[in-house]
Structure 1
Amino acid sequence: MPSTITTSQGDSWDGLAYRLWGEERLFDQLMRANPAHLDVVVFPAGVVLVVPDVETPTQTLELPPWMTA
């Protein structure tokens, strides 16, 4: 059974993604799992959204040489 999240007044797709996975850029996966709400930009309180299983990629930052010294 998929997990869900209930919105608070003022939540947005990217804010929810950050709260769920620590990455705003994963908001598209949340949107794909909830096509009935694609027209919403800012959520009212009480909307129940499906939370898909997302593998958050580990990102290694390549620093420029002047920052590694």
Structure 2
Amino acid sequence: MSRQYVTSQGEMWDGIAKKTLGSEYQMNKLIDANPAYRNLVIFPANIRLSIPEPDDQIVETLPPWKRGGTG
């Protein structure tokens, strides 16, 4: 069973991805999991979104202090 998230007025894809998946860089994965809402930029309240499992990959192009690990 997938996780669900209910939006608040004014939220946007990147903020929801950061809050639920740990990184705004996973925004596209979140949008792909919710194709009915892909044309929304700013959400109204009470939209129920499916939250996919986050990717565990580290974005190699990020500097080390933004990768979330040590080193």
**Aligned residue for 2:53?**
53
**Counterpart mapping for 1:1-69 below 5 A:** 1-58=1-58, 61=63
- For the residues of structure 2 that align with 1:40 and 1:31, how far apart are their CA atoms? 10
Please provide the CA RMSD for this pair: 1.9
Amino acid at match of 2:49: L
- For the residues of structure 2 that align with 1:6 and 1:23, how far apart are their CA atoms? 18
Runs of 4+ aligned residues of structure 1 deviating over 4 Å after TM superposition are none
Q: TM-score, normalised by structure 1?
A: 0.79
Q: Which one has more relative contact order, counting CA pairs under 8 Å at least 6 apart?
A: 1
- For the residues of structure 2 that align with 1:24 and 1:62, how far apart are their CA atoms? 17
- Residue 57 of structure 1 and its aligned partner are, at CA, apart by 2.5
- Residue 56 of structure 1 and its aligned partner are, at CA, apart by 3.1
Distance 1:59-1:32 versus aligned 2 partners, 3 A rule: closer
- Give 1 or 2 for the bigger CA radius of gyration: 1
Q: TM-score, normalised by structure 2?
A: 0.77
Paired residues in the alignment total 63
Amino acid at match of 1:21: L
Question: Which 5+ residue runs of structure 1 have no aligned equivalent?
Answer: 64-69
